Amino acid sequence: MATHMSKCRSWSRVHRFGLAAYRKYSSGSGYPNIPLSTPLPGIPKPVFAAVDGQETYETKITTLENGLRVASQNKFGQFCTVGVLVNSGSRYEAKYPSGIANFLEKLAFSSTAKYGSKDEILLTLEKHGGICDCQTSRDTTMYAVSAEVKGLDTVVNLLSDAVLQPRLLDEEIEMTKMVVRFELEDLNMRPDPEPLLTEMIHAAAYRDNTVGLPRFCPINNVDKINKGVLQRYLSTYYCPERMVLAGVGVEHEHLVECARKYLLGVEPAWGSSKGSNVDLSVAQYTGGIIKTEKDMSDVSLGPTPIPELTHIMIGLETCSFLDDDFIPFAVLNMMMGGGGSFSAGHTITDRSSLILILLPPFRHHWMYNATSYHHSYEDSGLLCIHASADPRQVREMVEIITREFIQMNGNTGQTELERAKTQLKSMLMMNLESRPVIFEDVGRQVLSTGKRKLPHELCNLINNVTSNDIKRVTTKMLRSKPAVAALGDLKELPSFEHIQAALSSKDGRLPRTYRLFR
């Protein structure tokens, strides 16, 4: 009877707390003592993904009769990421009101010839567990969808309609204007000034040309953009030879078949796309300074508000991502405090603050932030350091940045170089574990170069970087005129001439200034 009651209590615990509550590993009265080297009884045999030699790592590229390139890389899994990348963006808006790419980003996946509204598009994607997104940069517009592989035909059909057949209704454009105005207000109010400083440093480095044109629509241009302006821009830049259909996690032959079915011989909503008036301007690096006096004392209200800070960004010209020095500059960026995302065919945007480790312990504890960034385009590049500190210590902060630039021109320690190379390779491989990142890397590389460098090729190039390469590219970079962006209380900001003199000196120190009265 007692035994029966004990068993009843045990089963009661199983029902209430699950099987784990019944296991008695110490007494051995639960599961039998099975060695870890022996499979558990009753467990089905696992099925692993097959590795078919080099095939899984190969990026396949096919060019259709109309010039559209189809690029894919297979990847194990039930989901895929497919999208259309267009060689368009804010750098091509010299002949148009700035902000068109910003508008098209907000209007993406709205009503089309086949879908009456964005809700219909989302409902169609939901049937395949899909989501959609559109992102624009200074030189690329990307329409992307992630969904189940079995829905590839529907996804490519939807992408074709969203890219080539948008209806651009008046009410959609008016709603987009409201969204853009809100975004501009938010840009100036948010505690993180990085997007605003990035705009300012590009405007200073490439004044009034190509990648220096505003990525966000200026407030004065919001009412200038209408359906006619958008369609003129689309007819120039949305042509097949300036597009790539990229896919990750799909069979290449199936993707090409869908491309021929939905993207070959399709008449766009704006008529034929000739691409005859494409802006072929080359980026002209000018250098210079853009500064904005702003009260930052109440940027973040709350129980733990951010202290009042002045933000400085100083940049120098580097090279195109097509240049052989692109990889040495990427390693240099890591040595100066870079980290984050890496693409062999586009911009590097880096977000860690390793530069603080290079500074003497506790000597510069007052610096709130010091981060290195590297932006690279098809005809130029920009490496810059963003730093933040109390307004009273702006001059000292600027001198620290200029001295760091100059010190990279000296002898580079082998340990420090190897650490930077290892970090860069690790960051590259970690990012390429993500399917959407692989998609973006494949699309951007094929769009800009017509081919793709595989990860092991990039790692070999990183391994070949020497301390002489770092010194050479640093010397090359220091020959350029600096670009400076400053935001906040700028009473203590050194003049542009003094910053330029510091970057031309041997030790990076600012010229001394003497004041009769403080």
Q: Would you say residue 271 lies in a domain?
A: no
All residue ranges of the chain with pLDDT < 50 are: 1, 13-14, 16-22, 24-28, 53-55, 340-358
Regarding whether 204 and 76 lie in a shared domain, the answer is yes
Could you tell me the two tokens for 114?
């086949």
Q: What is the pLDDT of residue 515?
A: 61
Residue by residue, DSSP assigns 431-489 as HTTSHHHHHHHHHHHHHHHSS---HHHHHHHHHT--HHHHHHHHHHHHTSPPEEEEEE-
Regarding whether 165 and 197 lie in a shared domain, the answer is yes
Could you tell me the two tokens for 368?
């709130």
Give the structural domain span for 259.
60-264
Total structural domains in the chain? Answer: 2
Q: Would you say residue 33 lies in a domain?
A: no
The model's pLDDT over 108-147, given as tens digits with 9 standing for 90+, comes to: 999 999 999 999 999 999 999 999 999 999 999 999 999 9
Q: What is the pLDDT of residue 360?
A: 53
Regarding whether 105 and 231 lie in a shared domain, the answer is yes
pTM of the model: 0.85
- Rounded CA-CA distance 28/78 in Å is 41
Q: Would you say residue 17 lies in a domain?
A: no
CATH of the domain at 162: 3.30.830.10
Regarding whether 451 and 314 lie in a shared domain, the answer is yes
The whole-angstrom distance between residue 457's C-alpha and the CA centroid of its chain comes to: 21
Contact, 419 vs 438, CB < 8 A? no
Regarding whether 487 and 361 lie in a shared domain, the answer is yes
Contact, 215 vs 137, CB < 8 A? yes
Q: What is the pLDDT of residue 274?
A: 66
Q: Would you say residue 45 lies in a domain?
A: no
Q: What is the pLDDT of residue 50?
A: 62
Q: Would you say residue 181 lies in a domain?
A: yes
Q: What is the pLDDT of residue 53?
A: 43
Q: Would you say residue 1 lies in a domain?
A: no
Regarding whether 213 and 332 lie in a shared domain, the answer is no
Regarding whether 408 and 474 lie in a shared domain, the answer is yes
Contact, 56 vs 105, CB < 8 A? no
- Rounded CA-CA distance 143/160 in Å is 10
Q: Would you say residue 218 lies in a domain?
A: yes
Regarding whether 244 and 367 lie in a shared domain, the answer is no
The model's pLDDT over 228-242, given as tens digits with 9 standing for 90+, comes to: 999 999 999 999 999
The whole-angstrom distance between residue 37's C-alpha and the CA centroid of its chain comes to: 45
Regarding whether 300 and 194 lie in a shared domain, the answer is no
Beta bridge partners of 148: 79
Regarding whether 167 and 117 lie in a shared domain, the answer is yes
Q: Would you say residue 299 lies in a domain?
A: yes
Regarding whether 248 and 293 lie in a shared domain, the answer is no
- Rounded CA-CA distance 21/15 in Å is 9
Regarding whether 247 and 330 lie in a shared domain, the answer is no
Q: Which of 264, 297, 328 is the C-terminal boundary of a domain?
A: 264
